Amino acid sequence: MDYKEFLSTKLHYGYSDGFEATYMPDILFNYQKDIVNWACKKGRAALFEDCGLGKTIQQVTWAVNVSNKTNGIVLIIAPLAVNFQTIKEAKTLLNILIERFDSGTHKSLIKIANYENLDKLNPEDYAGIVIDESSILKSVDSKTRKRLIEFAQNIPYRLACTATPAPNDISEIANHTEFLGIMKREEMLAKWFYNDGSNWQLKGHAFEAFYKWVASWGCFLSKPSDLGYSDEGFILPELSIKPLYFDFEFKTSGSLFDIGLKGIEDRMQIRKDSVGTKAQAIADIVNQSNEQYIIWCGIDLEADTLTKLINNCVNVKGKNTPEEKQDSFAKFVSGEIKVLITKPKIGGFGLNFQHAHDMIFFGLSDSYEMYYQCIRREYRFGQKFPVNVLIALAGNESVIFDNVLRKEQDAKTMSDEVIKNISLYEKEEINGSKHEQMTYNTRIEQIADATMYNGDSCELIKDIPSNSVDLSIFSPPFASLYTYSNSDRDLGNCANSDEFFKHFEFMNRELLRIIKPGRNVCVHCMQIPTKLITHGYIGITDFRGDLIRHYEKCGFIYYGEVCIWKNPQVQSIRTHTKCLAFKQFNKDSVDSRPALPDYVLIFKKPGDNAVPVVPTENGLDNDKWINYASPIWTDIRETYTLNSIKADKDEKHICPLQLDVIERLVHLYSNKKEMVFSPFMGVGSEGYVSTLNDRKFTGIELKPEYFNQAVKNIKEAVHDIKQKDYNLLSLIKE
């Protein structure tokens, strides 16, 4: 595999191992046909479409195509209450038969089950799987999420469908990619995000690349025009949401005054205490109206009380059998029943009740998703009348309503932002446009004896003559610990350690070629800490050892190393790791550990050195050699570095290599006028020291911001030499 072929494997643009759709019913809108065809071509995809955009007929059409392609069975998994509706719509709209997985008949190659049936199913029986209302994957610790991902891991074709109210929910997106087999949750987080201590934040430089990647496997849609189609027939009527306040005094137990709702217990208590006050008023509203109503209840006491007060109603409970629930929902849809009373977790997801346009919430929980989904049972595309929503609030339950409204605004803002940023890439996907890598340009700057390249070291190093470099010093990207740019050419922009070392090898094979026989390569590194939220445990990975094994594989001789002492208190303040905190030490020192030192690994190209390095010409003597020969350098000044930069919106980056370290290596392993090379030049630290110490320098840096700073720093070094106000040995500690 050549380098460009390798880069194409790093793109991670979805799972494009599907096929052309052969079944496409005329009843589908054009946007639905194009989305289904795109999902078939992908083989694995997610439809994040708003309520009423036809996810059911799209997923059934996709399932038929997979079944036709494989002659195998396709399984649809949906909430229990949605199963009968999916079966009905498939038959009514598409004339497609869907059978229950346990029906005992084999008239159809499309089966349906609910999430509770997972343990009764064998994944080896299915060529494709559809999960409806896939927002169930949102919960990181959900047993259902883990079971679904495990269940689907060997099923070739997969589709996930949900109307998510917050399409940039990181957990939801991460879990969908893992279910689809596109990228592991940990890999996605490492590639595109950083954790600020409490939340995952999208890396600033990853903004465009992340949305382009998401569009390669997920279709976000709030209305057809998001993808450039007509919205005719999809303009929703007016939505009216009004609070219905009741004069109800609520006091926390043991309190003389109303001090507000304090947690779940208070919220549950006010619901129970206010049932009688709310129920009669709600019953009066409903009984005096000729319209059909849905009444959303949170506790059994609310539903049971209303059932006694309201005419022609049905109370759908959790203890009802699946057949009883389906029968009640069907009778409500047909108009046989005027009022449907149920809980959001029973009837709030996936069901189509747009034949009705009035509903009442018997109080609220703090869940915006529940609130959103319940309203969307009626307020969805296909609704022909204004939808009226009343929310019964007693006493200080208004704080819950205010909280939900705040979440609603936040969700809308986030959703609009995601749709705006992703729609362009989605249009490219649906139209079949090919993804290309980020724009890549190169340039060169020559300053005195320093030559600096802005570009990819894995490619530009090929232009450097063989056996022309006397010494190489650099600090490589520490696997995926730091990602410096959105380019797939960035070694830090890797999904995992294996991918990093595959990428790194393209550079190091060339590095062996350009180094003179018997000369040294000095690699600065550190061990890499793991994170509980990313890796599942807190510990250390042996990056130093991995580098040694990698360089030996590439043909170098592992010749030696030095450990650089680090101040544990400074490191604790900078990294905020609890392993170095006094608090953890005093609480339980089992979870304390030493600070992480830096290392300089010394590798040698096989062969004899033709030109000896004379230490006395570099100001070194036996006494200094005793200090330098120590396996631990304790006198390196941690903050003695060139000024670092932080590109706009980027995450915090590692500091440049200390100038003390570079100077020692330059004096130990090179003569004046010899060539020093850095394939990861950064802000130019190696070039700065080399220039001040009368060495030639060649450096390569991918990121333009760092390259520009390196040019400035080396110009400054050349200026200092010309002004003769720099002591060439000033960096050596006496």
What averages of pLDDT result for each successive group of 10 residues across the chain (734 residues)?
Answer: 84 72 94 94 91 91 96 92 87 93 88 91 96 72 80 94 65 85 79 71 74 85 89 89 81 47 74 88 95 95 95 93 88 94 89 93 86 90 92 85 85 75 79 59 93 96 97 85 68 81 96 98 91 70 95 98 90 77 83 90 98 90 91 90 61 69 96 97 95 96 92 90 54 36
Q: How many angstroms separate the CA atoms of 357 and 117, rounded?
A: 33
Please state the separation of Cα 431 from the chain's center in Å.
25
Structure tokens given for 558: 């592992």
The yes/no answer on whether domain 452-711 falls in CATH 3.40.50.150 is yes
User: Could you give the count of Cα atoms lying within 13 Å of 328 in the half-sphere of its Cβ?
Assistant: 21
Secondary structure tally for the chain: helices H, strands E = 25, 27
Strand partners, 163: none
Dmax over Cα atoms in the chain, in whole Å?
103
Q: Are 116 and 80 in contact (CB under 8 A)?
A: yes
Q: How many angstroms separate the CA atoms of 277 and 397, rounded?
A: 14
Q: What does the H/E/C string look like for 552-615? A: HHCCCEEEEEEEECCCHHHHHHHHCCHHHCHHHHHHCHHHCCCCCCEEEEEEECCCCCCCCCCH
Q: How many angstroms separate the CA atoms of 734 and 725, rounded?
A: 19
Strand partners, 77: 113, 131
Task: For the beta carbon of residue 71, count every other beta carbon within 10 angstroms.
Answer: 8
Q: How many angstroms separate the CA atoms of 493 and 469, rounded?
A: 28
* Among 658, 674, 616, 398, residue whose Cα is nearest residue 526: 658
The pTM of the full predicted model, rounded to 2 decimals, is 0.68
Residue 561's contacts (CB-CB under 8 Å, 6 or more residues apart) are: 544, 599, 600, 601, 602, 631
What is the DSSP code string of 337-394? -SEEEE-HHHHSSS---TT--EEEESS--S-HHHHHHHHHTTSSTT--S-EEEEEEEE
- Kindly compute the dihedral angle of the four CA atoms of residues 116, 117, 123, 124, in this order, to the nearest 10 degrees: 170
Residue 288's contacts (CB-CB under 8 Å, 6 or more residues apart) are: none
Same fold, 3-227 and 452-711: yes
**What DSSP designation does 124 have?**
G
- Measure Cα distances from 391 to 79, 273, 363, 364 in Å: 26, 17, 6, 8
Strand stretches in 209-310, DSSP E: 218-221, 239-246, 293-296
Q: How many angstroms separate the CA atoms of 427 and 207, rounded?
A: 18
Strand partners, 321: none
Q: Residue 437: which region, alpha, beta or left (left: phi > 0; alpha: psi -120 to 50)? A: beta
Q: How many angstroms separate the CA atoms of 7 and 499, rounded?
A: 10
Task: For the beta carbon of residue 580, count every other beta carbon within 10 angstroms.
Answer: 21
What is the DSSP code string of 397-426? GHHHHHHHHHHHHHHHHHHHHHHHHHHHHH
Q: What is the length of the chain?
A: 734
Sign of CA dihedral 285, 286, 289, 295: positive
User: Could you give the count of Cα atoms lying within 13 Å of 301 in the half-sphere of its Cβ?
Assistant: 12
In this structure, which amino acid lies at residue 652?
K
Strand partners, 451: 446, 698
Element (H, E) at 208: helix 207-215
Q: Give the chain's end-to-end CA distance (angstroms, integer).
A: 51
Residue 321's contacts (CB-CB under 8 Å, 6 or more residues apart) are: none
Helix 398-430 and helix 30-42: axis angle, to 10°?
70
Task: Give me the residue label for tokens 């399409």.
Answer: 167
> Parallel, antiparallel, or unpaired for β 443-447 and 450-454?
antiparallel
User: Could you give the count of Cα atoms lying within 13 Å of 383 in the half-sphere of its Cβ?
Assistant: 24
Break the chain into its structural domains and give their ranges: 3-227, 239-410, 452-711
Structure tokens given for 315: 């109370």
Structure tokens given for 515: 């180094």
When computed from its CA atoms, the radius of gyration of the chain, rounded to whole angstroms, is 32
Helix 659-669 and helix 685-692: axis angle, to 10°?
50
Structure tokens given for 415: 């959703």
- Class of the domain covering 239-410: alpha beta
Task: Give me the residue label for tokens 């350098």.
Answer: 633
Strand stretches in 679-726, DSSP E: 696-701
Q: How many angstroms separate the CA atoms of 336 and 312, rounded?
A: 9
State phi, psi for 669 to the nearest 5 degrees: -125, 15
What is the DSSP code string of 164-200? -S-TT-HHHHHHHHHHHTSS-HHHHHHHHEEE-SSSE
Q: Are 320 and 347 in contact (CB under 8 A)?
A: no
CATH topology of domain 3-227: Rossmann fold (3.40.50)
Would you call 337 exposed, middle or buried from its count of C-beta atoms within 10 A (0-12, 13-18, 19+)? middle
Q: How many angstroms separate the CA atoms of 6 and 437, rounded?
A: 12
Would you call 58 exposed, middle or buried from its count of C-beta atoms within 10 A (0-12, 13-18, 19+)? buried
* 3 state SS of 518: strand
Residue 534's contacts (CB-CB under 8 Å, 6 or more residues apart) are: 186, 189, 190, 195
* Among 167, 95, 96, residue whose Cα is nearest residue 130: 96
* 3 state SS of 447: strand
Q: How many angstroms separate the CA atoms of 389 and 359, rounded?
A: 5
Q: How many angstroms separate the CA atoms of 288 and 292, rounded?
A: 11
Q: How many angstroms separate the CA atoms of 83 and 79, rounded?
A: 7
